[in-house]
Structure 1
Amino acid sequence: MPTEKLFYQDQYLGRFTANVQESAQDVNGRYYVVLDQTAFYPTGGGQPHDTGTINDKEVYDVEEVDGEIRHYISEPIESNQECVGEINWERRMDHMQQHAGQHIITAAFEEEFGYKTVSFHLGKELCSIDLEVDEITEKEAKEAERIANIIILENRSIETKWVQEEEVHQFKLRKKLAVKDHIRLVIIPDFDYNGCGGTHPKSTGEVGSIEILHWEKQKKNTRVYFVCGDRVRKQLHEKHQVLQNLTSLLSVPQEQLVEAASRALQHTKELEKTIAEMKGKLIEYEADELLNNCEKTETYQLIRASFTNRTILELQHLAKTIAAKSDEVVALFVNGTSEKVQIVCARGGNVSISMNQLLKQVLPKINGRGGGNDSVAQGGGESLIPAEKLLDMLTEAVLHKK
């Protein structure tokens, strides 16, 4: 027997009694109950499910399956008993505000600019609609927002009506209906007519207000992000806190924040450029120092060094700089951290040893991965061998290839 949907009779009903018709577990082992009637709205039509309690047991999910509404609960409840259900009213009211607000902003965009809504998402923090247009302007967004808030201020009624398929042609619906039976229309007279199974307040005034936050291109459409009702106040509070913190950090009034932030970013870029130049000079000095103190064989110069917590990019830069300074050099670097070990090998132009082949000889010892070419190679793996011992293995491999 299908569950009687009390939320369609009274969307403000927050507490109700019902009989438990079924108590079971789904294929994932989740406990659920089916009631003869319920005020819990199941996920559907772009609107998330209600939450709350049944006999003080948490209801964390609600789904409609073949006409029965399953209330997923934290603990099992026995069948064939009366129970008391309470929905999370704050969540329900928020969803009603967002859903009704979506109807209003959708109608505003279509009525004013002819932009149809092709999808709607009611998120935990933000809502969004996808408009069937490549892009919108700031002026269009502000005008749609203005119209939407006028409709709210006028406190127009939001009506619901159950109709038959043959009656649908009497109404100027914004989109094609998804069902042919049990058709429920949500109507804002002389403004919006829609087939919808969600919950809405009785008047537009209860939506409070609508604020468009931003928009972005989404394939061939434009995704518009917005909030309604209490979420507008929450967004205002959060953004005000951010502005207050920034005015304090940058020591400027709110109207000068953009200019001050731009100056700070430009200064940071200049500092980063200076730091990069200084690091480059240090690498040059380090390369010269290593070359001056290298081990010399009959055929090439051998530079071997182990480091701790150097970045792989620094070691690559150092190795390449050394190789560029001498055609007869082989540079072997090992960098160790608490969790991994890294290797960089480089050679000068007159050395015939392949750095890539050299690296592949030792990588299996550390369950490592890496690669490169004959001139430069790099890789890394687990800290299974101390950095110094790994460096000795590389050196031995080089001398063996001599």
Structure 2
Amino acid sequence: MVFKCQEDSFLKHYTAKVVSCTKANNGFEIILKDTILFPEGGGQPSDHGWLNDHEVKNVVRKGAEAIHFVEVDQVPLQAGELVHQKLDWERRFDHMQQHSGQHLITAIFDREFGFSTKSWWLGTEDSYVDLDTKDVTKEQMETVENICNQLVVDCTAVSVKVYQPDDPALKTGALRTRGLPDDVSGPLRVVTIDGIESNMCCGTHVKNLAQLQAIKLLGVEKAKNKCLVHFIVGNRILRKLNECYEREIQFNNLLNGGPSSHVDLIKKLQTTVKAVQKTSKKLIAELAFQEAEKFTALSDKPRFYCLHRLDGASSDFINTFLRNAKQPDCFFFLTNGDDSGKGQLLLQGKPDDIATLGDAICKMLDGKGSGKGSLYNAKVNKLKEVWRCQKLIEEHFKAEISESETRSK
């Protein structure tokens, strides 16, 4: 198999002969004599494209072969048949920008600060390099970004050269062999950024750094034994800028102020929200206390008591009520939630009653919870079914009273 697009990054259509087409899970695996669709490798995801009218969203390399996966039920192609390949150029060019950008970022971090790259990842939104260091300062980020963008402005050339495995040049040390897979065979490609670095790589790249348009380092993410520098290149910067601008316009309308005042306006809003939340919490506590006093003032203490509120999913109301409505022999059925029907359930009573009613009530309210001893807690989704639960509780205690009266006779 020959990957025709390695030396010509602008080849978007190609015709090649089918070598094999074999059944696989949910589709067929197709091998071609030549291909323009890049198989996943070198940290770069595979190309997408079409074989005739059959969409290809996955290409993997096995040894020297590129396996194209087509998700169809019937045999799509026959061995020996000529097939027209079409490349998803937008995806390809995006990957070219990110991959060449990664080579440049890696080289400049290494040259300027001695930070080598342990690995890298090309993501759908942004990418990152994992540097062999504990941290990267803001000043170091700015230095690398400025150098990279100056090289873009200078239209620095990028070239690809193919070497045979026994070529003496590969043993000089000038060409990096980092991350070369064990099953690679045949000619080896070396990508050179003029005056910066030469590095073995199977991926797709731009021909000139000017095609990168720009490089933006987004930030540093530190984790155990990792220091990830996130970045975007080229068209992704334009897309990110557009997203930020549209978000800025929405903030202008929501906050009634321009971008320069957004931070101050949001801080002011946060202060207001905290004050309102504090007041609301106090009012809920007072309301719960009043409800508890009403219960305590009842001359005939009920066998069960139901109380439901739709003023938020907070458990403060329920907890405050129970602290003040002390009645160990009463069965409490309490819920708190909002108009969506989602909220919390709490049952408190004798263990036998909890064991009998807990799971049944939870099921009626489409909840998930559990009980132990005299308590049962659950998160529920159908508070509108509370009336059914109350009916179940009434029937339970009517039966209990009748049984008690029968025993007393």
Q: Which residue of 1 aligns with 2:30?
A: 33
Looking at structure 2, the residues matched to 311 and 253 of structure 1 have their Cα atoms a distance apart, in angstroms, of 33
Q: Are residue 168 (structure 1) and residue 170 (structure 2) matched?
A: yes
Note the C-alpha offset of 1:39.
Answer: 0.6
Q: Are residue 361 (structure 1) and residue 356 (structure 2) matched?
A: yes
Q: Which residue of 1 aligns with 2:113?
A: 113
Tell me if the contact between 1:320 and 1:346 (Cα under 8 Å) persists in the aligned partners.
Answer: no
- Change in Cα spacing, 1:384 to 1:365, as seen in structure 2 (3 Å) is farther
Q: 2:274 aligns with which of 266, 269, 277?
A: 269
SS of match in other structure, 1:77: coil
Tell me if the contact between 2:47 and 2:59 (Cα under 8 Å) persists in the aligned partners.
Answer: yes
> Kindly, what percent of the aligned residue pairs are identical?
25
Tell me if the contact between 2:309 and 2:335 (Cα under 8 Å) persists in the aligned partners.
Answer: yes
What TM-score do the two structures reach when normalised by structure 2? 0.83
Looking at structure 2, the residues matched to 395 and 380 of structure 1 have their Cα atoms a distance apart, in angstroms, of 25
- Change in Cα spacing, 1:330 to 1:138, as seen in structure 2 (3 Å) is same
Note the C-alpha offset of 1:93.
Answer: 0.9
More divergent stretch after superposition (195-204 vs 161-170): 161-170
- Change in Cα spacing, 1:41 to 1:250, as seen in structure 2 (3 Å) is same
SS of match in other structure, 1:386: helix
In the TM superposition, 1:2-401 aligns within 5 A as 3-26=1-24, 28-75=25-72, 76-163=76-163, 164=165, 167-173=169-175, 176-179=178-181, 181=185, 182-293=187-298, 295-296=300-301, 302-305=303-306, 307=308, 313-314=314-315, 317-318=317-318, 321-326=321-326, 330-333=330-333, 335=335, 343-346=345-348, 353-354=350-351, 357-365=352-360, 369-374=369-374, 376-379=375-378, 386-392=388-394, 395=397
Looking at structure 1, the residues matched to 262 and 379 of structure 2 have their Cα atoms a distance apart, in angstroms, of 45
Tell me if the contact between 2:348 and 2:354 (Cα under 8 Å) persists in the aligned partners.
Answer: no
Tell me if the contact between 1:60 and 1:73 (Cα under 8 Å) persists in the aligned partners.
Answer: yes
Taking only aligned residues, the RMSD between alpha carbons, in angstroms, comes to 3.2
What TM-score do the two structures reach when normalised by structure 1? 0.85
Note the C-alpha offset of 1:396.
Answer: 5.7
For structure 1, which runs of at least 5 residues remain unmatched after alignment?
A: 348-352
- Change in Cα spacing, 1:278 to 1:269, as seen in structure 2 (3 Å) is same
Looking at structure 2, the residues matched to 175 and 261 of structure 1 have their Cα atoms a distance apart, in angstroms, of 50
Q: Which residue of 2 aligns with 1:350?
A: none
- Equivalent residue letter for 1:71: H
Looking at structure 1, the residues matched to 119 and 136 of structure 2 have their Cα atoms a distance apart, in angstroms, of 16
Note the C-alpha offset of 1:318.
Answer: 3.0
- Change in Cα spacing, 1:201 to 1:380, as seen in structure 2 (3 Å) is closer
SS of match in other structure, 1:21: strand
- Change in Cα spacing, 1:175 to 1:321, as seen in structure 2 (3 Å) is farther
SS of match in other structure, 1:215: strand
- Change in Cα spacing, 1:317 to 1:397, as seen in structure 2 (3 Å) is farther
SS of match in other structure, 1:111: helix
More divergent stretch after superposition (77-86 vs 159-168): 159-168
SS of match in other structure, 1:246: helix
Render the CA deviation track for 1:186-222: whole Å, top value 9, x for unaligned: 1113212222110101111111110112222122222
